[in-house]
A and B are shown apart, each in its own frame.
Chain A
Amino acid sequence: MFSGFMVNAWIVASLVAVIAGLVGFFTVLRGSAFAAHAVPNGSFAGAAGAVLIGANTLLGLGVFSLLSVLGIGWLGRRGRHDVVTALMLVLMLALGSLFLSLSSQYAPAVYSLLFGEVLGISSNELAPTIALAIACAVILAVIYRPLMLSSVLAEVAEARGISASAMELGFLALLALATTMTVPVVGTLLIFSLMIGAPAAARSFTDRPGRALLLSVAIALLTVWAAIAASYSTDYPVGFFVGSISAASYLLGRAWGAFSQRSRSTPDSSAREYAATAA
């Protein structure tokens, strides 16, 4: 399982899991589930276009992810529930299906772009994936603190001189980078599971932001590793395991959260306030 071409697969998948866990944490924090759905749709069309013209898939993914985040940034919060936006997302999928139908690889390419294909990562895609991961990590490290405050309390952050629109732009850039490197491994339909499932599960297990971030990464890594191992032994697709394990860990987290809230003997808020002032 660890020889030859599989080494590449492990390395790439681990990088993908780390970045998905990091960027996914902020996606969940900012409530940007829409973006996590919209950007992969756009990137699908780009990847399909790349397949058609014989270009590097990562290039197609990158260009169209960038265009998608720019579109989202320009739309702002208003456009998210618009019919035009919904139709545009479907149009991206249809466009991708057109490109792939005109290429010679219709069915297999459809499958691998939508559901992922970790075992097919070639060695000349290792270097660009590492570059994308490093870029992502550097940007995130730089804007970590202001992004954290702006994501939770945008108005208060603004009063401190942290521009909410600059942070949104930075976050969207991270999302574009993360989508570009994650789609080849888990596919556009399952990227939501990995990017959202891990942080959503992590927040059920800890109250602290730093720990929740690390836990997101850990859960994402475990998910991807288990998925690859299982896929290697059963020959079943990686996407199946990613989807199921993500859903399972999320539900586990919710169950744990509900259980620990009920069993913890926390006095209710008004009793706490009374105790605080009486002191």
Chain B
Amino acid sequence: MSALLASVSDQGFLSSSPIRTALAIGAAVAIVSGALGVFTVIRGQSFAGEALGDIGTTGGSAAYLLGVGPLWGFVAVSMLAAAAMELLGVQRARGRDLATGIVLGGGLGLAALFLYLDSTYHNAAGASVTILFGAIFSISSSTVPVVVALGLAVLAILVTIHRPLLLSSVAPEIASARGIPIRAVGAAYLLALALSVSLCAITIGAILSTALLIGPAAAALRLTTRPLRAIACAAGLGIAAVWGGVWLAYESYYWPPDQQGWPVSFFVVVLVFVIYLASGLPRIWSARAERRAARSVALSGGEA
């Protein structure tokens, strides 16, 4: 523990500008995706989030061709895809059904083309890695206000629709009986999802983004059933995963094999996975405690 504190307070870690940017962006994204992730898990729309992440690859790789930052590519294409999903009623699909998978494949083929053009004509040879697996240390600090603004937009949408959204997710017939415009609420949610996935994509990469969206939220929902508490918990767990990942990546610069550092996104995904597994422990412990209590009651009662 003291070694941890020592390295954090170490001049190198916090004084480095890319690290500070990464921590700031990571925290903002973790809060936003934690909140949205809780709704996503409750609505059972993890697949929609995954699909939007994958299609974001196409957008991000196109962005290089247009000379804009990948974030705009993610945002533009995922919002278009969310609109298409809403119109076609695709978001209600429970899993990787054939049509969505094949159309996504077309999009990924396009991404392959864009990435090829990026590296051949625009000298962006590392574009593949940045788009797919993220490069949080390469984000310029001028992106931070954009991320914060988009994050606030998502939170604003959530604050506005959170009650009808919850009701229509949990009991759609009751919601529509009360006059809630389910379709409009669902569409607003998809929009927020697209923005949130885009933010996750610049943090840990488009095809890994689902981990940050679903993992902390699912873990939080295993620890508490109250939505607001789950959101706070998910945000906290997400921040832990992202900051932990940033710190581990920083430390890994001294690790083998050739002291170049391990990818941040790898650490974040591993931490999310560990956090999710750990969130199952309290239930196991309390079940075990209950069994022990029941056994002692039976033992003492059976002696009558």
Binding site for B on A (CB under 8 A): 28, 33-34, 37, 80-81, 83-84, 86-88, 90-91, 93-95, 97-98, 101-102, 106-107, 110-111, 114-115, 187, 189-190, 192-193, 196-197, 200, 236-237, 239-244, 246-248, 250, 254
B177 at the interface (CB under 8 A from A): no
CB-CB under 8 A for A110 and B116, given A86-B214, A101-B262, A246-B106: no
Nearest A residue (CB) for B114:
A240
- Of B141-149, B156-164, B268-276, the one touching chain A: B268-276
Contact across chains for B105 and A243 when beta carbons are under 8 A apart? yes
Interface of B is mostly: helix
In whole angstroms, what is the CA distance A37 to B214 when docked? 18
Interface of A is mostly: helix
Contact across chains for A91 and B269 when beta carbons are under 8 A apart? yes
B257 at the interface (CB under 8 A from A): yes
Nearest A residue (CB) for B217:
A83
B97 at the interface (CB under 8 A from A): yes
B115 at the interface (CB under 8 A from A): yes
In whole angstroms, what is the CA distance A242 to B109 when docked? 7
Contact across chains for B129 and A34 when beta carbons are under 8 A apart? no
Most chain A CB within 10 A, of B106, B257, B262, is at: B106
Q: Smallest distance from the beta carbon of A21 to chain B beta carbons, Å? A: 15
> Can you report 27 A-B residue pairs in the complex whose CB atoms are below 8 A from each other?
A33-B95, A33-B101, A34-B95, A86-B46, A87-B211, A87-B214, A91-B270, A91-B273, A93-B207, A94-B266, A97-B208, A98-B266, A107-B126, A110-B133, A189-B207, A190-B112, A192-B102, A192-B105, A193-B101, A193-B108, A196-B102, A197-B102, A200-B98, A200-B102, A237-B116, A247-B102, A247-B106
B152 at the interface (CB under 8 A from A): no
B203 at the interface (CB under 8 A from A): no
Nearest B residue (CB) for A102:
B257
CB-CB under 8 A for A243 and B273, given A86-B214, A90-B208: no
Contact across chains for A240 and B105 when beta carbons are under 8 A apart? no
Nearest A residue (CB) for B96:
A33
Ordered nearest first, which 4 A-B pairs have the shortest CB separation?
Answer: A243-B109, A193-B105, A247-B106, A94-B269
Contact across chains for B102 and A246 when beta carbons are under 8 A apart? yes
The one of A91, A94, A110, A241 that contacts B109, using a Cβ cutoff of 8 Å? A241
B45 at the interface (CB under 8 A from A): no
Contact across chains for A83 and B270 when beta carbons are under 8 A apart? no
The one of A34, A90, A192, A240 that contacts B113, using a Cβ cutoff of 8 Å? A240
Q: Smallest distance from the beta carbon of A47 to chain B beta carbons, Å? A: 15
Contact across chains for B110 and A196 when beta carbons are under 8 A apart? no
Q: Which residues of B contact A111 (CB under 8 A)?
A: 112, 115-116, 119, 128
Q: Smallest distance from the beta carbon of B60 to chain A beta carbons, Å? A: 14
Q: Smallest distance from the beta carbon of B209 to chain A beta carbons, Å? A: 9
